A and B are shown apart, each in its own frame.
Chain A
Amino acid sequence: MSRRAALTPSLALLPFFGYLTVFLLVPTITVVVGAFQEGGSFSLTNIEALFSPVALRTLRNSIVLSASTAVIGAVFGSLLTYLVVSAPPTSVFRRVVMSVAGVLAQFGGVTLAFAFIATLGFSGVITELLRSTVGVDIFGRGWLFDLPGLVLVYTYFQIPLMVIVFLPALEGLRPQWREAALSMGATNRKYWTEIAIPILTPAFLGATLLLFANAFAAYATAAALISQGNPIVPLLIRAGLISEVLLGRENFAFALAFEMIVVVALVMAAYALLVKRTSRWLQ
């Protein structure tokens, strides 16, 4: 009887583990094994190829893109969240921001890329408007279709995502704490630097990490926007798989995917360490 009772919860988890195996474990193993193979046998060729100038440059671009959009998203997103939390729960402002954030955080891929091309592309609405009114050509040399364009477009879904993931943390900040601090003679500034910010730091870092991973792994938006060159790692993986000019680079694609796993693992380990340090006094 007791044995049965212990088994039942794990039985209920079976579908979850099955799901995990099929969609996470098997692909990860395939990627890792593939990264160390060439022509069906063990080889380090593709791992070595990760250190070629082109691959390193692409990795650097990917990290710069993910980190910059994560920081921009985290800063502006948390400011917006603060405004939202300051508003009464039933206010129109709050409800509008929350639903818009919910929609825009999921807005990506071909639709998002097209929206920006239609707005800021060569004959985009705003480009044409500025060209005909003030005579400024914001299209320039096609920056929209390169790394700067990606930063702009990614920020568009990073900020709303930050609002969604950071809101619970800010809501957890009780007004009573602030009242208590102020009544005990703390200044507003002291309250923020010594109470609110330390409490929010782990949540803030966690959210920023999520934004980093979100941008680092995003593929569809970049694929729809960029057709010339492969400035970021997911696009270089695409090239390895579908190129009709450079053949037989599937395993190099595996190696690049492996590299992405390593980067995310490193960032997560760093995050865990950081949280451990920052939240020590909370316990």
Chain B
Amino acid sequence: MSRRLHQLIGAVVGLSALVLAGCAAPTEDSNDATTTAGGAVSATQATSAEDFGGMEELVAAAEAEGKLNIIALPPDWANYGEIIDAFQATYDIVIDSAQPDASSQEEINAADQLAGTDRAPDVFDLGQSVALANTDMFAPYKVETWDTIPDVFKDPDGVWVNDYGGFMSIGYDSAKVPAITALDDLLGEGFRGMVALNGDPTQAGAAFSGVMMASIARGGSADDIAPGVAFFKELNDAGNFLPVDPTPATIESGQTPVVIDWDYLNASLAKNLPTWTVVVPENATVAGYYFQAINTDAPHPAAARLWQEFLFSDEGQNLWLKGGARPVRADAMAEAGTIDQGLFDALPVVAGDPVIPTPDQTATAAAYLAENWAMVVG
């Protein structure tokens, strides 16, 4: 009996050793595989292409991984569809695009829930509040074009970088409604049941900025979103507010003839609906930039870094521009002559100083919305 027990214990110990070895082996292998030619830094620690020994080695390491997990990037948002295709055409890497319609917070939730698996998102594209609340999840990295990104649009250590942005705008179908020049036009008779906002401002960043834009048009400020809420209350009381989530489908089929949204999202609709017009209301320019970052637990660390290089290259930036967004390197590229001038000139005209709410202002305004938005739409 005791001999049998010993044998059993021996077998269990041997087996667990095997299992442990089995667990450990791939990790070591993958570290070896992604350790750079320079030999000093592994892909998860690399903070620049230099750390890989140059762009060619970065490409080689990324292609060895062969996959990139992205999340919450709708193909019709800022031209992401074409960007994804272009990346896959340039490199031998397959992109797995998860939950394209998810929110920024859902990106972080997914990274938490899938941490340690090979399905976790490699890269994030986040709204300001979510990005700044989760910086400990980002791996610092500086792209090759780092120096041409204005300082206000990047973290000094490269933890996050603004990627593209735009202004809050009103898009409308000029075949269905009269021309719009100011926000208050929307309160008129001709807009009954027609004005939609891209999402719920207590949940979606774009809709939040829409209310902020209304506030500034009504004499409020980044510190005071109340006039914006009052505007939507009036809009709702006039019967003009349409509680439908606008999508390219609702816009093309005429269900949402007026949409308050980022100018690049509104602009991208014109190609299927020629009468779709985009205006940024005068004296109500609210700007917003999205935040690009790499997941510290990225299952494909080299591919994640190559994706950043691609997004901030002239090609990637021009692809965003093609989607109507303002790429963060636009000014430097215009100076260097590498920007697509035709597209750059076609962006909606903006007058007045743009307002970019700070994180504190955003938090205060969000708290106000949490208490008061339900009264607007209820």
Contacts and interface: CB of A to CB of B under 8 A. Distances in A.
B94 interface: no
A141 interface: yes
B378 A247 contact: no
Contacts of B104: 244
Contacts of B371: 52-54
Interface in B215-272: 239, 241-245, 253-256
B193 interface: yes
Contacts of B243: 142, 145-146, 226-229
B127 interface: yes
B239 A141 contact: yes
A138 to B, nearest CB: 12
B109 A245 contact: no
Nearest to A54: B374
B241 to A, nearest CB: 8
Contacts of B369: 245-246
Given A140-B193, A227-B245, A248 B133 contact: yes
Contact of A122 (B103, B193, B373): B193
Interface size classification for chain A? 20 to 34
A281 to B, nearest CB: 46
B370 interface: yes
A241 B104 CA distance: 11
A139 interface: yes
A159 B208 CA distance: 39
Contacts of A247: 105, 129-130, 133
Contact of A244 (B129, B254, B370, B378): B129
Contact of B242 (A54, A123, A142, A231): A142
A244 B205 contact: yes
Contacts of B245: 227-228
Contacts of B199: 227
A242 interface: yes
Interface string A213-227: 000000000000011
B378 A239 contact: no
A81 interface: no
Given A54-B374, A226-B243, A245 B201 contact: yes
Nearest to B130: A244
A121 B249 CA distance: 13
Nearest to A124: B255
A104 to B, nearest CB: 25
Nearest to A137: B193
Interface string A42-76: 00000000001110011000000000000000000
Interface in A137-165: 139-142, 145-146
13 contacts: A57-B374, A123-B255, A141-B239, A145-B243, A146-B243, A228-B197, A244-B103, A244-B126, A244-B203, A244-B205, A245-B201, A245-B204, A245-B205
Interface of B: 102-106, 109, 126-127, 129-130, 133, 193, 197, 199-205, 208, 239, 241-245, 253-256, 362, 366-367, 369-371, 373-374, 376-378
